[in-house]
Structure 1
Amino acid sequence: MAIAIDGASPALVGDDATTITTASFTRPAGGLLVAMVAALSGAAPVVSGGGLTWTRRVQRDAEGPWVEIWTAPVTGSGAMTVSLTITDSFGVVAGAIKVDAVTGQHATAPIGNTGNNSSTANTLNVTGYTSSSAGSRGFFVAVEDNSLGAVTVGGGDTGFPFAVTHAFGDMDGIAIRKAANTATAGTAVTFNADAAGSSAAAWTWAALEIKGGSTDASVTAETVAVAAALPDPTVTVSASPSPAAVAA
């Protein structure tokens, strides 16, 4: 089963508040929620919502914005929201969260490889990770902390830029979803984000691979005993005499 993004996935939301909540959306039965997070916070931010079990899968903190990706397997049904909770740091808070509702993920082991780093290049073009399986999908979040302006996505992928104004400037960044599933294992999965202008940037980024559903199956052959009774063979000879006149 191939990974797909459910159309009910909520839009990115950003704010300079200690709690940031998505719009209500309908969770996909048996799916997986992927939350791409950026935050200016005094401590690691926290994702929650829907009564689900959320797990931080990758994190980067370069003495400034936090970038993280969380996941939660979907249980139950109906409408829900997802919240990002940020710790106030000397009166400065800002954050953004983009939640994707994924279907077709691996049933028991959906989490693949991760990557995170920082960069000063104005155009960020990085290998987020090397794919661990065929049919996986990549997710990415990055913050540019020099307040250069709006961030754009490259590489034909799907980007969700954000710009959140806080007490000391702007937090510019982008959440990115690969436009297609990765065809084979062992592929260097790249992400591209371009800061405004051409000045040196201050990027912090994190990436996560979600593995697709497996169709592998094993068959165990067993010998089945069948009871049968065969009759003993018999031979029957039957003939009738036919007298006839013989000429002498």
Structure 2
Amino acid sequence: MPVQIHPSSPARVSDTTRTDGSTQTASFTPPFGSLLVAAVHYNTQSAEGSNPTITMSASPSTAWTPRAIPPFTSGFGYVALFTAPAASSAPTTVTATSNRLYTISLKVYVVTGHHPATPIAATGTGNIYNNPATFPGYTSTRRNSLGLLAATDWDNLGPATSADVLESAAVNGGASGGSISVLTAYKAASTPTPGTAVTFTADSPGTIPAPWTWAAIEILPAPYRGWGIPIL
């Protein structure tokens, strides 16, 4: 079975009140054993903003593994990718909480067809100041893996478009300030050949360069079994 984004994946949620620095998805029901990928975005640009706490209501003790987190850089926002297994098929919510009162945004993907033991291989992170932007991503390590990206635009130029399967939004801080634009994207098809440069694109409104900070991961497929023998 190929690596796929499952339709139970909840919609993006954001909190702009900056009263408690947290946001929570709607309830969703992931298949047992699926992989949850959480993309978290802040409006911070400094190292004072440590990584968020992520919890799942159906299994609060489940640990979330950080997979791709760019270094904090002045003039750029925060983004990070985390994963956790769906330990049950019970309805659940996912909550992300920062240690400061930031504008925060959260997108959770439910992934199936992944490698159960080592779901993530190559990763990439960085900053880019361009519009349109091409994110260099990573070099694939396994055939039929799937690439996924998350990025934050500190200048909030607005929702971007992309050749990839994209979800993008402008998260407006309102009177409290701290507005950012955010996106998550995954490749429309898996990468058939190891050693392939996997890139992503984003085109923000207008022509002003956007200060993007980005993180990308390679999701590995489950081993194919031919005559009962795993084939990687």
The answer to whether TM tops 0.5 is: yes
Partner of 2:168: 161
**Equivalent position SS for 2:224:** coil
- Superposed, which structure 2 residues align to 1:147-226 within 5 Å? 147-148=156-157, 150-155=158-163, 157-166=164-173, 167-216=176-225
Kindly tell me: are residues 160 and 219 of structure 1, through their superposed partners in 2, closer, same or farther at Cα, counting changes over 3 Å? closer
- Is 1:85 the counterpart of 2:93? The answer is no
- Is 1:21 the counterpart of 2:24? The answer is yes
CA distance in 2, matches of 1:137, 1:12: 20
CA distance in 1, matches of 2:225, 2:29: 30
**Equivalent position SS for 1:202:** strand
Deviations 1:32-79 (A, max 9, x none): 111112113532222221322211111023245211000001212210
CA contact under 8 A between 1:4 and 1:102: conserved in structure 2? yes
How many pairs does the alignment contain?
215
CA distance in 2, matches of 1:65, 1:58: 14
TM superposition score normalised by structure 2:
0.86
CA contact under 8 A between 1:40 and 1:86: conserved in structure 2? no
Return the match for 2:40 from 37, 43, 52. 37
CA distance in 1, matches of 2:53, 2:204: 27
Structure 2 portions without partners, runs of 5+: none
Structure 1 portions without partners, runs of 5+: 221-248
Instruction: Give the 4+ runs in structure 1 shifted more than 3 A.
Output: 216-220
CA distance in 1, matches of 2:228, 2:14: 50
Kindly tell me: are residues 144 and 219 of structure 1, through their superposed partners in 2, closer, same or farther at Cα, counting changes over 3 Å? closer
CA distance in 2, matches of 1:62, 1:182: 31
CA contact under 8 A between 2:159 and 2:168: conserved in structure 1? yes
Give the letter aligned to residue 43 of structure 1: S
Partner of 1:58: 68
CA distance in 2, matches of 1:8, 1:219: 30
| 192-201 or 114-123, larger mean C-alpha shift | 192-201
Partner of 1:241: none
Deviations 1:168-203 (A, max 9, x none): 352112111211211111111110011221112211
Deviations 1:216-245 (A, max 9, x none): 56989xxxxxxxxxxxxxxxxxxxxxxxxx
CA contact under 8 A between 1:39 and 1:45: conserved in structure 2? no
CA distance in 2, matches of 1:207, 1:122: 19
Deviations 1:129-157 (A, max 9, x none): 01110111111111111232x132322x2
- Is 1:104 the counterpart of 2:129? The answer is no
Partner of 1:3: 3
TM superposition score normalised by structure 1:
0.81
Partner of 1:71: 83
CA contact under 8 A between 1:54 and 1:71: conserved in structure 2? yes
CA distance in 1, matches of 2:202, 2:217: 16
What is the root-mean-square deviation in Å for CA atoms of aligned residues?
1.9
CA contact under 8 A between 1:151 and 1:193: conserved in structure 2? no
